[in-house]
Structure 1
Amino acid sequence: MSPTLNPEIVGQAENAHEAVLARALAPTGITKQQWIALALAVTAPLGADGLARRLAGALRSADPAHRHLGGLVAAGLLTAEHSVTPAGQELFARVRAETGQVIARAYAGIPAEDLQTAAHVLELVTGRLDAVA
């Protein structure tokens, strides 16, 4: 009998994904929260205020968003206006490629329908939990 989706399984999957990211980020000196900020800046440029709001939502906290963004500015990965610098683009591409290879191998052979179902269920659960929080 296959296990049913539950918080333990979700947590284990999240921890496994985070370990891959942590290994890729270790030599860069940026944190997971800064990585999330950089990824948002690269994939959905929103300007300084929009990026801070989106990051606060992604981190589920308003307080540290500006601190994490400031760290990326200090590291030369974002401009003062929170646009991505060439160094930020290069770092993003390098980390995304490294983690992408590992994740692709982990997901290889899983039917697309199963991945779509898993994504749908996780989106539903996240939305319901967000509504409660």
Structure 2
Amino acid sequence: MTTTTQLVGPRVIALAHYAGRAILETVLTRHGVTFQQSVTLRLAAVAEGPVGREELVDGVTGALKVEATEAHGVVDELIAARLLAQGEASGVRITDAGRRLHDRTSGETAPITARIYDGIPAEDLAVAGRVLSLITERADAELAALTK
């Protein structure tokens, strides 16, 4: 495989994002899950126990850049599908079915991700991580300024 060196910019970042997202959505579709549901389920899966509904919604809005009402809707979909459960005072927690689904989809995408990243030097990944984190931070600040 040959690659051409391109400067990182919006197009290169978008192409990489959408290529990876297409892979994930292909796997998710086989399991009847949307991308938004997957992001929400992951946040509940990595939490150390129940998480407050507002905290979960904040995580979804921060990750997906959607309105809180949309994130609440996704949480409601996952509760209706019995992948999440809403406790009285304990917050939202992932159910056993939700955990199995998260583990299955993660297990299916992990080897694909490994193949994609295979052979990329750790130093290059570290630089890319720093640059993309800085771009994300700056873009988040610009979005916050636009939505004030």
- Classify the TM-score, shorter chain: over 0.9
Distance 2:124 2:29 in 1: 32
Q: Secondary structure at the match of 1:109?
A: coil
Choose 1 or 2 for highest CA Rg: 2
Q: Distance in 2 between matches of 1:131 and 1:60?
A: 12
Please state which structure has a larger fraction of its residues in helix. Answer: 1
**Residue by residue, what CA displacement relative to the aligned partner does 1:99-126 show, whole Å, maximum 9, x if unpaired?**
1110100100100110111011000001
Gaps in structure 1 of 5+ consecutive residues: none
Question: Percentage identity across aligned positions?
Answer: 39
Matched with 1:55 is 60
| CA–CA separation in structure 1 for the residues paired with 2:43 and 2:122 | 26
130, 135, 139: which one pairs with 1:129?
Answer: 139
Which residues of 2 match residues 27-66 of structure 1 at below 5 A? 27-45=30-48, 46-61=51-66, 62-66=68-72
Per the normalisation by structure 1, the TM-score is: 0.94
Aligned to 1:77: 83
The normalised TM-score by structure 2 is 0.85
- Count of matched residue pairs: 133
CA distance in 1, matches of 2:64, 2:115: 27
CA shift digits 1:58-97 (9 cap, x unpaired): 1212220110001101111000232000000000011011
Provide the aligned C-alpha RMSD in A. Answer: 1.2
SS at match of 1:96: helix
Q: Which ranges of structure 2 fall in alignment gaps of 5 or more residues? A: 144-148
Secondary structure (helix, strand or coil) at the match of 2:82 reads coil
Number of the residue aligned with 1:100: 110
